[in-house]
Each structure stands twice: as structure tokens, then as C-alpha cells.
Amino acid sequence: MRIALLAVLACFAASPMVVAAKGTMTIVHTDGDTNVYNDVAISVIHGALYMQSADAKGTMVIHRAACSYQEKIMVCLLTSATLIQGGETSALDFRRGTVYVNGTGDYQPLALSTTKVAPHSILLTFQTEKGTYVTLRGRIDKVVD
Amino acid sequence: MRYLCIAMALLFALQPAVASAQRGGRGGGGGARGGGGGARPSGGGMSARPSGGARPSGGNSGGFNMGGDRVSRPSGGSMNGGNRGSMNGGSRGNAPVSGNGNRGNAPVSGNGNRGNGNGNVGNGNRGNGNNNGSNNRNNGNRNTNINNNNVNVNRNAYINNPVYGGGGAWGWNHGAAWYPASGYWGGGFWGAMAIGVTSAAVYGSIVGANNVTYNSYQVAPSTPGATFLSNYQLVQVQCGPPNLVVVYGPENSVICANPNNLVQAGNYNLDTQTLSLAPI
């Protein structure tokens, strides 16, 4: 009985690892209003980064370029952001941004920072012309070359 | 025995309680997930935000609260391309491209006529010489030409990257191709400075052909540009003074550095594929 109980507990302890495969997006507006979105699905498809909300009603598409390596971290500058939502595809008034990709199986530190990027995860931040900051941190769920 | 029975009874009584507590825990987990959903509706709080009102219909029903950051023109799809096109066209199409060529060509042809020709006469350096040389030979300026030739021979030498020279294409970038990002000065090679950004440190300027002035900016650490400088042990300085190493990089960018034992003063084009220097 107790063995069964332990097995169930172990199962619950292990299950959050599956949930952790999703990302968390934070949007900070110029007026200080902040939105946090958990369980954002992160996919890299044909070089573009797709971030889909948990309710699947919004998808943000990011295009990157000028990718180079800082030690084992790949750093890319972002060139545009598009929002697919409510049946519309709209360009965001993108200003600038950077994405850090850790394709290794270990935690990797960012250059000149104490921040570490988790294995097979990304850290992304960009700013719109209006001044809204978007950050995303999480594990890449799917890669399609 | 009575105590044993009581203990047994307590044990059995507790067992289901523990189990139910676990089930309760599961329920709690579900609650947490529900809470996550709750956070999103708080994004729905965006509907209370002033900007939220400007969002298109359907935006409040879910997804991301970015309605206020959309490009404010009709039909986003075509507009998206329009924006990018105009930005790229602006930077690439500007005089920089033709200016670059003018900048490079002027000094090369100028020196070439004098130097190369002289080299053919004085040093018999046929490999580097050209038709201009035979013309100069008739001028009889041999001594002067020989000196000039020495300078030109050095300038004509392609300088392989001291660190990644034998690494093949993109060896400096783990073998991954690097291509410029539009909207950033130098395509992002020197850092994430957006074109036209005023917060970046200006590091002097170069006046090219047609009196076009090109600003130079401070190279950011941990960038391909910083790797390049490190490979050649170059230290960036402000552009403007004479006798500097002037390096023309991607997207009409330029930086300057003091010459050293690896790189003489002069104008160079940077090959981003190999991080090597080609004299202009």
C-alpha cells in the first residue's frame, strides 16, 4: 500500500517536469501594467520563433538574424515581431530585441551577467516603439528545421 | 492486544486519510493550473486598460495583450513587409553602398598608379604590378616609385585572421553562418545598436566620397566585432585622425583602431565569413 503510495507521489513529483517544458511570457506596458502568461508554447519553425499562449488564441512570431555564439550560448538580434490573434495577423511596432538560445544540456551563463539559461531553453526580450517590454523564458518545445 | 487493535484501527483510519490528502493535493494542483488561467484573465484586465479599448475585437477574449503595440495601419500582413522593406531599402540603398565603393576605389587607384607602376620597375614585382606600371616606367620616377611600391605591396596583402584563419567558413562562429540583421548599425555585427539610435557612444566619423559622413560607434563586448578586434589584438579608437586602421564592416559600418604588428595603418574591408581583412 505504502509502496503504491510512494509510487503515486513519485509520479506527481515527476510530472511538473513536463509542465516546465512551457515558457513564461511577461509583458510590461509603459504605464506599468504587467501581464504574465504561463504555459506559453515555444517552437522554432524554419528559423522563426513561435510563441503561443496557453489558450491558443494568440501567437507571436519573431524573426531573428545576426546570430553568433557567446561561448556556448547563441545570441541573435531580433528583426521583427508579428502577432496572430483574433483572426488577424498584425506586425508589432518592433524596435529592438535579443534572444539567447542554450542548445546544450547544461545551464549556460550569459556573458557579463550572472543570469544562466536553462538547458535547451531560450531567454528573449524585445521592446516595441511604444515602449512595451516583452520577455520570455522557457524551454523550446519543438524545433522544425 | 486492545492497544494493538486501537493502533491497527488508527493505522487503517489514517491510511485513507493520507490517500485522500494526496488526492486533495492533486486537486490542489488542478487549482494551481486553474490559477494560471486566472492570471490570463487578469490579462483580460487589459480590457479595463485604456489601450485595451483600442484593441481589435476578439483581442480581449484571449491571447496576448499587445493590441496597443500593433502597427497602426490597415491589413497588417502587407504592411509588415512594407515596413521592413522600407527600413532595409533605406539603409542599404543609401549612398553607403555606392559610397563604400567610391571610398575604396579612390585610394586604391590613386596609389596603384603610382606605387604599382614603380614596383614593376624597381623591384620587378610583376605579380603585383599592372599596366599602370609600364606607363610609370616611362616617367623615370624610379626611386620614388620604389618606395611607394613597398607601401603598396604591404597594403595589397590579404591578412588572414590570426586565430580562425584556417578554420574555414564561419569558423569563428562555430561553423554557423552569420548574416546581418536589418535595422541595426552594421547589421548587428558590432553590437545591438539600432540604426539612428542616439544612446550609442559615437566613436568619431569617416568622411567618404561625395562628402558623405559615416559615424562610427563603440564596439560592444561579446559581439562578432569584439571577437574580430580581439583576434587581431586591435584596440578601437575614435575615427578621424590619420594613420589609423580603418575597417569597413557590414551594412556600411566603419570602425577605427590603432595599427599594430599585425595590421598596418590603412583602409580595409572586413570579410565576415572568415573575419579576415582585405586592403582597399
Tens of pLDDT, residues A92-124: 999 899 999 999 999 999 988 898 999 999 999
* Residue among A5, A59, A98 minimizing CB distance to B19: A5
Domain assignment present for residue A13? The answer is: yes
Domain assignment present for residue A118? The answer is: yes
What is the pLDDT at residue A34? 97
Question: Helix, strand, or coil here: A129?
Answer: coil
B50-to-A29, A30, B47 alpha-carbon distances in Å: 12, 12, 8
- Reported in sequence order, the residue ranges of chain B that DSSP labels E, i.e. its strands, are 202-207, 213-217, 236-237, 245-248, 254-257, 266-271, 276-279
What is the C-alpha separation between B53 and B75, in angstroms, rounded?
19
Domain assignment present for residue A1? The answer is: no
Give the range with max mean pLDDT: B63-67, B140-144, B215-219, B226-230: B226-230
Q: What is the least distance, in Å, from the CA of B39 to any CA of chain A?
A: 7
Q: What is the least distance, in Å, from the CA of A30 to any CA of chain B?
A: 11
Which residues in chain A are contacts of B72 at CB distance < 8 A? 93
Q: What are phi and psi of B71, to 5 degrees?
A: -65, 125
Q: What is the least distance, in Å, from the CA of A3 to any CA of chain B?
A: 12
Which residues in chain A are contacts of B184 at CB distance < 8 A? 66, 77, 96
Number of domains in chain A: 1
What is the pLDDT at residue A105? 94
Which residue of chain B comes nearest to A113, CA vs CA?
B222
- Reported in sequence order, the residue ranges of A7-72 that DSSP labels E, i.e. its strands, are 23-28, 34-45, 48-52, 58-70
pLDDT above 70 as % of chain B:
47
Q: Are B165 and B159 in contact (CB under 8 A)?
A: no
User: Among residues B230, B240, B238, B225, which one has the least CA distance to residue B270?
Assistant: B225
Domain assignment present for residue A119? The answer is: yes
Q: What is the pLDDT of residues B215-264, one digit of tens each?
A: 899 999 999 999 999 999 999 999 999 999 999 999 989 999 999 999 99
What is the C-alpha separation between B217 and B73, in angstroms, rounded?
33
What parts of chain A have a pLDDT lower than 50?
5-20
Q: What are phi and psi of A138, to 5 degrees?
A: 170, 180
Mean pLDDT, residues B42-57 taken together: 34
CB A12 to CB B29 under 8 A? yes
pLDDT tier, B31 (very low <50, low <70, confident <90, very high otherwise): very low
* Domain that residue A123 falls in: 6-144
CB B39 to CB A36 under 8 A? yes
A99-to-A62, A136, B104, B195 alpha-carbon distances in Å: 10, 9, 35, 19
* Residue among A27, A77, A112 minimizing CB distance to B188: A77
DSSP structural state of residue B74 = S
Strands A58-70 and A73-85: antiparallel
Q: What pTM was estimated for this model as a whole?
A: 0.63
Q: Are A72 and A116 in contact (CB under 8 A)?
A: no
Domain assignment present for residue A98? The answer is: yes
Identity of the residue numbered A20: A
What is the pLDDT at residue B250? 94
Contacts of B215 (CB under 8 A, 6+ apart): B202, B204, B205
- ipTM for the whole predicted complex goes beyond 0.95: no
What is the pLDDT at residue B73? 59
